[in-house]
Structure 1
C-alpha cells in the first residue's frame, strides 16, 4: 500500500477524491437554499413534498445508465449521481430544520427590521448548518459505495476502476487489497474532515458536553 500510494494508486485516489468533493460541493450549494426555501414557504413545501417523498427512497445508483445517456460517459455523470444522492439527504434535513424553528424567534428578528434575506442568512442558515454537516458525514459511506460502483466501468481513473479492472480482473490481489485500503482511507478522511468542521461549527455544544 505505502509503495503504491505515491505512484499509480495515488493517481486513482486523487481522481476519486476530486469526484466525491465536487459532488458534496454541488449537493450543498443546491440543497441548502432549496431546503431553506421549502422550510420557510409552507405553500411551496406542500407542492413539492409529494415529489420529494416519491424521489427520495429511489436507489439513485439505478440512474447511472440514464446519466450516461443524458450527460455522456464522463466524470460529470458520476459526480452528478453522487451529488443527487447527497442532495435529497441534505434537502430533507435543511427543510425540516428550517420548518422547526420557533415562530417567536423569527418574529423577534423581524421586529428588528430584518427582511427575508437577513432571515435566511442569520436565522435559517445558522440553525440548519449543524444538521447539514451531520447529514453529509452520515452519507459519506453511501457516497463512497456509489463511487465504487460508478468507477468500475467506462472510465480509466478512480479507485473503483483500479480495484476491479486493473487488479482483480488480472489477479493482482496484493494491489487489489491496497486499492481497497485506499478507498477505505478516503472514506475515513472525508468522515474525519466533515466531523472536524462540524465540531468547529458546533463548538458551544461540544463545550457543554465536556
Structure 2
C-alpha cells in the first residue's frame, strides 16, 4: 500500500507541474518558456543519440562520487560513534571542514586535479561524505550500551557487532543523510559540468542556453529533474526495504 501511495503522489506531482507549465507558457507566450509538448517532442527526438550520452556521464559522476563517499564516510562514522577516543580525535577536524561550502573548493580542486572527471567526482564525494559521517556517528553514539551486552557475552567480534547492531541501527539516519546531500550534489555537479568538459547534462543545458536553443535547454532541464526524481525514488525504495522496522 505504501508503494502505491508513493507512486500515485509522484504521478500527481508530475501532472501538477506539467499543468502549471502549460498555464505559464500560454500566459506569457514567450520563446523563453516554450510549452511542454514542444519540449517533450524535442526530448524524444534527441534523447537516444545525444541527451542520453550526457545524462550517462552525469549519472556516472554522481554514482561514483556517492559510492566513494559511502565507502569512506560510513566506516569513519561508525568508528567515531563507537569509540569515544576516535571521536575526540577526529571531531575537531570534522567541525572545521564540514561547514565550508564545498562549491568554494572548486578552484582548489581543479588546480590540484585538473578539470577532468576526477575533480567533478571529488566534489560530489566531498558534499556527501560529511553528511554520511555525521549521520552515522550520531546514530551509533545514541545506541544504548546495554544493547551490545548480549553479543559481547557471547564473544562477538567488533565486525559482528557492526553487522548485527550498528548497521541496522544507523541505516535510517544514513539513508536520510544521503537523501539530503543528493540534491546539493546534483546542483554542484551541474555547475562543475560547465568547466572543462563536453559531456554532462550541465554542459548540455548551458550550451543550449548560449546557442539560444530553448527547446534543447528545457529538454536538458527535464532530464536533470527526472534523474533527481529517480535517485530520490530509489532511496525511498531502499528505505522501505532496509528500514521497514523503522516505519509505522
TM-score range normalised by the length of the shorter chain: over 0.9
How far residue 130 of structure 1 moved from its aligned partner, in angstroms, is 1.9
Taking structure 1 as the reference length, the TM-score comes to 0.94
> Aligned to 2:190, what secondary structure does the other structure show?
helix
SS at match of 1:155: coil
Q: Report the Cα distance in structure 2 between the residues aligned to 1:195 and 1:79, rounded to whole angstroms.
A: 23
How far is 1:50 from its partner?
A: 1.5
Gap regions ≥5 residues in structure 2: 1-42
Q: Does 1:190 align with 2:231?
A: yes
Q: CA deviation at 1:131?
A: 1.4
Q: Which residue of 1 aligns with 2:157?
A: 115
Q: Is the 8 A contact 2:140 2:169 kept in 1?
A: yes
Any gaps of 5 or more consecutive residues in structure 1?
none
Q: Which residue of 1 aligns with 2:214?
A: 173
Extract structure 1 runs of 4+ deviating beyond 6 A.
none
Give the alignment partner of residue 184 of structure 2, picking from 127, 142, 151: 142
User: What root-mean-square deviation, in Å, do the aligned CA atoms of Structure 1 and Structure 2 show?
Assistant: 1.1
**Aligned counterpart, 1:80:** 122
Structure-2 residue corresponding to 1:42: 84
Q: Is the 8 A contact 2:82 2:141 kept in 1?
A: yes
Q: Quick check: 1:102 aligned with 2:173?
A: no
1:132 matched residue in structure 2: 174
Partner in structure 1 of residue 53 of structure 2:
11
Residues 90-124 of structure 1, C-alpha deviations (whole Å, 9 max, x = no match): 00000011111100001222111112121122211
